[in-house]
Chain A
Amino acid sequence: MTTSPTKLLKNNYKLADRAIEMRSVDKVYQFLKITGRHIGADFDSLRALKNISFNIYKGEILGIIGRNGAGKTTLLNIIAGVLSPTRGEIKVTGKVLGLFNLGIGFQDQLTGRENIFLNGALMGAAKKELEDKLGCIIEFSELGNFIDMPLGTYSQGMRLRLGFSIIVNLDFDILAIDEVLAVGDALFQSKCFERLMDLRRSGKTLVVTNQGMDLVERLCDNVVLLDHGRMLFYGNTTEGVNKYHALLKTEKFFVGLKQETGLVENTKKWAEDTSNWGNELGTKEAAIKKVELINKSGLRPYGIRSGKPLRIKVYFEAKNPIKEPHFGIAIFRQDGVYCYGPNTKFDGHDIPEISPGKGYFELFLSKLLLAPGEYRVSVAIWDKNETLPFSYREGYYKLIVKGNNKTGQLLNLPCIFHSKAYFNLRRKNNGIVDPSMLDDKWGLKIDADGIRVDSVKILDHDDKEQETFITGGQAKLIVSFDKPFNDAKRYVWLGIYRDDGVYCQGISQRAGRSKDFKAAFLELPLLPGGYKISIGVWDGSMRRFLMYHHGIYPFRMVFNRKDHGTVYLQHKWRWTEK
């Protein structure tokens, strides 16, 4: 390399020339769609980039960050000139080199030296230039005599070294690097990093994508944050990286937009992909050894009774000291419905460090408000930002809630009818209402002769009609019919459903002499999200609905803190200190 220790351009790069100018760049991909009987040239399109504009100045290092599928590689390809924008324009001053892979066009049959010429020519170098730099390239690659062996005899590390040393020794003004440097061992990475710093010093313009946020933070002057093809942020690196971390933790697409209130309106997840269950993930710096499910008496029975306390005790062993971990435990129903997943971070516990050796953490649930059935428990020790777990056992442990659940409901929330407390599932002679026959009737209203619903009201603690309730607050449901039923075989049924149709809780009561049907939850523990209420009149002797309004009456839950799942369970944490 013929680079003298030139001055750092960083401080005045705003005054420097623009290396790359992007003006409202759009990129649309078209896919061939095979329709029906004939195979036609029909195209589906995907907008990979939407209205991207920014400048890259000479001597600047720009990071492009974003989650998977955000459009990073597409953007980089456009900068490198491999793809052209569908709309908008890009102006590039200087010679761009796109590095999407180390060792492009490497041929196993050719020797290292021959591959240098081939790869170099592919990257746009003239033979003369390569001949001049051959010495530097071979020296930097540390391959020695191997350079005249066929490439097929090389190890993966040697290939990477050769590929990288060709690239960094070539002549260019702008280098666009995709996530290639994430490969290779630590030594190789540090060498690459060192070289990138050299390039920065010599005033080259670099564009890099997520190489791990540490590297981005150290290397980049500015970042572009992409999400779903949109540019959410362009500017200062620290701010951009923080926004990226915030993005990782939320399902909301636009972190840049203001949030209306401090209240959380959606739980992060409602369902889990069950295909990973039984897997053990993580870096294994701390390993989860054993999990115990303990009841009120300190025993470990086969099943836990619904509504009773549960203690989940997790034993782990740490190999290294682990900085700022947090513990998480999540409970899923057998089919993947997310019940509850508290973690120490949401609960505001700061755990500075776990020291090496054995330890445990415990979660006490004061009331297990889950309906009888089979559940799975995931246990994890996470790092600070929940990016990579130290140890994560997904859906690994089976939790049995004892009892008989004929109605398929998820929860067993305490509720009050006419000031008398019931755990409705355990009541005898209640004419168990089976709403599974309504499974395909979502959103339908079927009325019967002689039964007319006057009103359905959801009230808060002040008896005011509301659409939004806070988790843990009081809620009353009042259904008014036009006249009392006076039929002992009729039951009024109220079902609470999640927006996605998961049956959370049913309440049923023999229709009495009153025309109003009332139920109250003193503490409605549903987690944020949209819910729907269904009502129906059940004929106990014929086991069918006389009328129903299924999934008609909506309400929302919000919460003043973050939590995962469907139902908030009162809990506390304990863990071994140091």
Chain B
Amino acid sequence: MLKEIFRRRDLIRELVLKDLKIRYSRPLLGFAWAFLSPLLTVAIFYVVFSVILQVKTKEAPFLLYLMSAVFTWRFFQDSVASSTTSLVDNKNLVLESQLPHYLIPLSIILANAVNFLPSLFILIITSLFFLKGLPVFIVFLPVILAVHLILTTGISLISSIVYVRFRDMKYVVEALLPILFYLTPAFYSIYLVKDSLPPSLFNLYIYNPFVGVLFLYRLAVLRGFYPAIGEEIGLPGLIICPLIFSAIIFLLGIRFYKRNEKNINDHISY
């Protein structure tokens, strides 16, 4: 599979470029929207939660706490939502050219990842400005990005294949994504969660891959984040859990794909 991805790298690049070009070639502001659009989203959340509801987080300044969650979540949500229907949406591509199916969700995820980079850049700059420095973990940011990518790919692959046969998947995904978002500590402190959950459930919560990946980002970008939560979660658990979860989901995705590869085209066209 990796060999095939390498062999078809030209195709992947073209598909990603196509996606980005279509997104940004026609609007007047062009690629500036990759910066503006996440900022606007964060602005709304900020007004609602900080100005109106007066939410405070002790782990990090609320603005940064919010940005780190919203930006990373947007990448995950956009990728999974558009990947789920991608095989069916692009059935002409699938049926008329011999491209391996997984390249379609993969190219969508990669395009979203490229789209995610500007917002990550904003996050780092803002963090640097507000916290007057970056944590040492920033050097692991590429690795964290890779872990996030792998997790997203695994989930997207599974949901896109399920959708080919069971079109209910779209609605399931649409319902699950917001639930997952509100479950991750995006605009509330984990101490709040700790207070309201029994210890066993809290551990389950804190080590689930979606919270884990978010914590990894915060660890890498927000100075002072680890000291603030260090007493709750040990560093090894914080790092290893999301890694293992992502790897498992990714491998499951590949296995699922291999098992269904031959039947996908039979069901795609109606």
Chain A interface residues (CB < 8 Å from chain B): 29-30, 32, 77, 80-84, 96, 98, 100-101, 104-105, 107, 109-110, 114, 117-118, 121-127
- Report the Cα distance A105→B104, complex, angstroms: 12
Report chain A residues within 8 Å CB of B25.
109-110
Binds A, one of B11-19, B213-221, B241-249: B11-19
Report chain A residues within 8 Å CB of B262.
84
Q: Once the chains bind, are A82 and B96 in contact (CB under 8 Å)?
A: yes
- With both beta carbons as reference points, the residue of chain A lying nearest to B90 in the complex is identified as A105
* Best-buried of B15, B97, B98 by chain A (most CB within 10 Å): B97
Asked if B37 is an interface residue, CB under 8 A from chain A, the answer is no
Q: Once the chains bind, are B11 and A122 in contact (CB under 8 Å)?
A: yes
Report chain A residues within 8 Å CB of B97.
98, 104-105, 122-124
A98's contact among B90, B98, B266, by CB below 8 Å, is which? B98
Q: Once the chains bind, are B98 and A82 in contact (CB under 8 Å)?
A: yes
0/1 interface trace, chain B 1-31, chain A, CB 8 Å (1 if under)? 0000000101101110110011001100000
**Can you show 7 pairs from A to B with CB atoms below 8 A apart?**
A30-B267, A32-B165, A77-B95, A83-B266, A98-B98, A110-B18, A121-B13
B47 CB to closest chain A CB (Å) equals 34
CB contacts under 8 Å to A, within B213-237, are none
Report chain A residues within 8 Å CB of B26.
109
- With both beta carbons as reference points, the residue of chain B lying nearest to A110 in the complex is identified as B21
Q: Once the chains bind, are B10 and A121 in contact (CB under 8 Å)?
A: yes
Report chain A residues within 8 Å CB of B265.
77, 82-83
Report chain B residues within 8 Å CB of A101.
92, 96
Q: Once the chains bind, are B95 and A114 in contact (CB under 8 Å)?
A: no
For the residues of B in contact with A, the DSSP-based class is: helix
Q: Give 7 new A-B contacts, CB below 8 A, not counting A29-B266, A124-B11.
A: A82-B94, A82-B98, A83-B265, A118-B14, A121-B10, A123-B97, A127-B10
- With both beta carbons as reference points, the residue of chain B lying nearest to A150 in the complex is identified as B25
Q: Which 10 A-B pairs have the closest CB atoms?
A: A121-B11, A121-B14, A127-B10, A122-B97, A100-B96, A104-B96, A118-B14, A84-B262, A101-B96, A109-B22
B67 CB to closest chain A CB (Å) equals 31
Task: With A29-B266, A109-B22, A110-B21 as known contacts, state yes or no: A80 contacts B98, CB within 8 Å.
Answer: yes
CB contacts under 8 Å to A, within B178-198, are none
Q: For chain B, give the interface size range.
A: 20 to 34
For the residues of A in contact with B, the DSSP-based class is: loop
Q: Once the chains bind, are B18 and A98 in contact (CB under 8 Å)?
A: no
Report chain A residues within 8 Å CB of B22.
107, 109-110
Task: With A83-B266, A121-B10, A122-B93 as known contacts, state yes or no: A109 contacts B21, CB within 8 Å.
Answer: yes
0/1 interface trace, chain B 26-50, chain A, CB 8 Å (1 if under)? 1000000000000000000000000
- With both beta carbons as reference points, the residue of chain A lying nearest to B12 in the complex is identified as A121
- With both beta carbons as reference points, the residue of chain A lying nearest to B25 in the complex is identified as A109
Q: Once the chains bind, are B18 and A107 in contact (CB under 8 Å)?
A: yes
A31 CB to closest chain B CB (Å) equals 8
- Report the Cα distance A107→B92, complex, angstroms: 13
* Best-buried of A77, A100, A122, A126 by chain B (most CB within 10 Å): A122
- With both beta carbons as reference points, the residue of chain A lying nearest to B95 in the complex is identified as A82
A347 CB to closest chain B CB (Å) equals 45
B258 CB to closest chain A CB (Å) equals 13
- With both beta carbons as reference points, the residue of chain A lying nearest to B94 in the complex is identified as A82
- Report the Cα distance A471→B118, complex, angstroms: 84
Asked if B99 is an interface residue, CB under 8 A from chain A, the answer is yes
A114's contact among B10, B21, B92, B94, by CB below 8 Å, is which? B21
Report chain A residues within 8 Å CB of B13.
121, 127
Q: Once the chains bind, are B10 and A126 in contact (CB under 8 Å)?
A: yes
- Report the Cα distance A100→B97, complex, angstroms: 8
- Report the Cα distance A109→B24, complex, angstroms: 10
B9 CB to closest chain A CB (Å) equals 9
Report chain B residues within 8 Å CB of A109.
21-22, 25-26
- With both beta carbons as reference points, the residue of chain A lying nearest to B263 in the complex is identified as A30
B166 CB to closest chain A CB (Å) equals 8
A30's contact among B8, B98, B266, by CB below 8 Å, is which? B266
Task: With A109-B26, A110-B22 as known contacts, state yes or no: A100 contacts B95, CB within 8 Å.
Answer: yes
- Report the Cα distance A84→B263, complex, angstroms: 8
A482 CB to closest chain B CB (Å) equals 62
- Report the Cα distance A32→B165, complex, angstroms: 9
Q: Once the chains bind, are A124 and B98 in contact (CB under 8 Å)?
A: yes
Task: With A100-B96, A110-B21, A110-B22 as known contacts, state yes or no: A118 contacts B15, CB within 8 Å.
Answer: yes
